[in-house]
Amino acid sequence: MSRSLQAGAVIPRGLVIDHVEVGAVLTITARPVAASARCPGCDRTSSRIHSHYTRTLSDLPVAGRRVALDIRVRRFRCIGSDCRTKIFAERLASDLAAAYARRTARLDCIVHHLGVALGGRPAASFARQLMVPASRDTVLRTVRRRAVRPVELRA
């Protein structure tokens, strides 16, 4: 029974692969599929590209190698004349990565579960063996960020 590795298992949905470089770190250069983006200020769709930049995300390891996603994110011009937001960057899908995140959502989930199960230092040690780049402070910060605050009862 032959099993092959599908690209969908490695690359999150919503991205198009431009280049793959295999070395000590598996570097995948990709770009979002969408041709346009919504302005966060006025919620209008714009396809007027202003510029682009590269956003690097850590992802789950593959075949004993760390994975880095280099995503070419575009900046768009808002088409609304009354909108205060003139230039904005396209947002990645929430199941890919949160705004300003350095890890993909699925890697962040693993770090969170390690932190809940093991705590700071043991989780960081185990994460290092799993080739997941996370320090003990990162693990604890991830757990705190996802913590549900208790609701105060009024008498």
Sign of the dihedral through C-alpha 28, 9, 106, 117: negative
Torsion angle defined by CA atoms of residues 43, 49, 55 and 57, in that order, rounded to the nearest 10 degrees:
60
Residue 113 binned pLDDT confidence (cut-offs 50, 70, 90): very high
For 36-84, the pLDDT digits (tens) are 999 988 989 999 999 999 999 999 888 888 999 999 999 999 988 888 9
Q: Tell me, what's the pLDDT at 9? A: 64
Dihedral over Cα of 30, 36, 37, 39: its sign: positive
pTM of the entire structure? 0.79
Give me the residue spans of the domains in the chain: 10-92, 103-147
CA distance 107 to 109: 5
